[in-house]
Homo-oligomer: A and B are copies of this chain.
């Protein structure tokens, strides 16, 4: 039992590390760490199962600081409990270039940071993925190997963001009972009292989504502990509404928005030291308190060792499989299965939509890779993401491999991030490409966090036809290409689709978006290639009959058009080559020589893509011809739309002829 006095001093250690670090950085958010210190102290000293010396232990509990601006809470905890990445010097270097203690928690900077947070609501939505991954893996590997909790600290901002509703509705529906969310209910947002903008009864709201809710005094360690016990004893996901005072302890500023996002200032820090009876100098933690914290960091060593013993005692295949999946290695059967499939494609040359090609590829890879978890935002039949292996994950049976995410693109993407971060699973899921806009903040975080998640985005152009401009992506491919470290694929046929899936599964440090058509496409790749040509980003698909005077670059459904234009031009005596460009990002990773060779030196350069021009000047130069969209689409049968918007082989050939014979 920790005495109240000891608890208070342990919590105060967090408070002073946080306020002193923010003060030194002259930047940051002291209010949350000060307000939530008691919650964190109870959680980390009594409940959270973790081992700072083995921070990646797979069966650890996860702690997600969804309110990422309170990063000093997390850094303080990591330092105090003995994670070696976060030294006192790192704390002193808070928010400095090159430090591990960035302004917001950055996944990968230090062990113990389970996810990158800061954009509000994301951590909460990630946690649904973490908790779901735990249940799914538990269904495969049993309680012996997978049996842990996901705890989240969320603020008012997290709960106001719409993504929170998607997350809590999904968690409630899936009955993720091992998910416990602390709401730091401090009534303060940046602009002032929460009552400026919100009157929601959060408990009622969570209950409406099937959650167990409890309210408690967030500064009473006993009450917090009781709430956690209650949460752990309830089969539903739990919300613990902790009434807290933001900036707890600061005599003049606590409870106001003044402590939210600014340093307290010397004077107020002095006053806080007095008020809380803290005599230690900045960045010094009294040795008995540091000892107590370090002891808390050793609490789960026994559990971890027992777990290791259980793992060691597991049946050899099961153990090997568990370890493989946790390492993130693909199974040995993946490559041969894909090679065989591609050989079959080369023989069959199917004329199908690439969304169908994707389903065909998924049928193979889901058979070979048991850790893929599919899904869709209520467009299963349109996204073609469900295969014979993927029975649904349900609230009563987590052994499935398919998640009906509902019409929740944003929550879906964030949950996928959580699953990938948890480890042991490779999530993929689908929606229409245009609705990548809804999921974009989470897709960006997948890139920033270097996670292997695969976004299947079908209906990837005006080629979707009648649904019209609200559903026709024209700028989404460009906008996604803009995200750093994000592989955006637009395959041209079944072969390229298979290749893109191969790359996506092998891409361990970047997420992928695969843009796929609704409409059927012919096979443009006629032969089997041992090399994955799509991995080059761009490659010459069709050579010119002689030194090329025209080069046509195209992606996806427009490669067919490029090839037809080439036929016309060559028939008119203009040697023309076609370059397929399935992935800009990978092309940029090729050697300068390769890039130069692909771009070539044709007199006329044309790009064809049923999207906007942005980004294409890299290939065709400022003076190149772009055949694509110049504004929003329209509602109508897709063949008519292609004609209407002038995305045709005739238009491309005519544009080339005009440049080749300017006097004509």
Contacts and interface: CB of A to CB of B under 8 A. Distances in A.
Interface of A: 25, 27-28, 68, 95-99, 102-104, 106, 116-120, 156-157, 160-166, 169-170, 172-173, 189-191, 196-205, 207-210, 376, 378-382, 392, 395, 404-411, 434-435, 437-438, 440-441, 444-445, 447-448, 465-471, 474-475, 478-479, 481-485, 599, 612, 614-615, 617-618, 621-622, 629-632, 634-637, 640-641, 644
Contact of A199 (B106, B117, B172): B172
Contacts of A644: 97
B209 A634 contact: no
Contact of A103 (B116, B378, B471, B618): B471
A329 to B, nearest CB: 26
Nearest to A432: B119
A630 B644 CA distance: 37
Nearest to A612: B482
Given A103-B468, A164-B165, A199-B395, 14 more contacts: A28-B466, A103-B467, A117-B470, A118-B467, A160-B407, A189-B407, A190-B378, A191-B379, A197-B378, A200-B209, A200-B210, A437-B444, A484-B612, A484-B629
5 contacts: A102-B634, A104-B468, A196-B404, A475-B484, A617-B618
Identical chains in the assembly? 2
A99 B164 CA distance: 39
A484 B632 contact: yes
Contact of A161 (B118, B166, B470, B630): B166
Contact of A481 (B201, B445, B447, B614): B614
A485 B631 contact: yes
Given A104-B467, A209-B200, A96 B637 contact: yes
Given A104-B635, A162-B166, A378-B157, A475 B483 contact: yes
A129 to B, nearest CB: 15
A631 B501 CA distance: 24
Given A190-B381, A437-B440, A437-B444, A468 B197 contact: no
A95 B636 contact: yes
A468 B100 CA distance: 12
B98 A636 contact: yes
A201 B204 CA distance: 10
B104 A378 contact: no
Nearest to A172: B199
A274 to B, nearest CB: 28
B621 A411 contact: no
For the residues of A in contact with B, the DSSP-based class is loop
Contacts of A164: 162, 165
A618 B623 CA distance: 9
A392 B196 CA distance: 9
Contacts of A478: 478-479, 482, 614
A618 B629 CA distance: 16
Contacts of A191: 376, 378-381, 404
B190 A170 contact: no
A425 to B, nearest CB: 19
Given A161-B408, A407-B161, A434 B119 contact: yes
Contacts of A640: 97
A403 to B, nearest CB: 8
Nearest to A160: B407
Nearest to A481: B614
Contact of A202 (B28, B106, B208, B631): B208
Contacts of A629: 484
Nearest to A117: B470
Contact of A162 (B161, B172, B479, B635): B161
A497 B490 CA distance: 39
Contacts of A198: 169, 173, 406
A208 B205 contact: yes
Contact of A482 (B119, B200, B482): B482
A68 B160 contact: no
Given A160-B166, A207-B204, A484-B631, A189 B475 contact: no
Contacts of A484: 474-475, 612, 629-632
Contact of A440 (B170, B440, B485): B440
**Most B C-beta atoms less than 10 A away, residue of A201, A406, A615:** A406
Nearest to A202: B208
A471 B98 contact: no
A155 to B, nearest CB: 9
**Most B C-beta atoms less than 10 A away, residue of A172, A203, A205, A631:** A205
Contact of A469 (B25, B106, B162, B378): B106
Nearest to A599: B622
A441 B437 contact: yes
B201 A208 contact: yes
A97 B637 contact: yes
A199 B209 contact: yes
Contacts of A467: 103-104, 118
Contact of A97 (B116, B163, B483, B636): B636
A197 B199 CA distance: 27
**Most B C-beta atoms less than 10 A away, residue of A120, A197, A376, A380:** A197
**Most B C-beta atoms less than 10 A away, residue of A98, A408, A482:** A482
Contacts of A118: 467-468, 470-471
A28 to B, nearest CB: 7
Nearest to A635: B102
B173 A97 contact: no
Nearest to A621: B622
Contacts of A157: 378, 407
Given A379-B190, A612-B482, A205 B199 contact: no
Nearest to A120: B407
A98 to B, nearest CB: 7
Across the A-B interface, the 4 shortest Cβ-Cβ residue pairs: A162-B162, A97-B636, A197-B406, A617-B617
Nearest to A478: B482
**Most B C-beta atoms less than 10 A away, residue of A27, A96, A378:** A378
Contacts of A102: 468-469, 634-635
**Most B C-beta atoms less than 10 A away, residue of A189, A484, A644:** A484
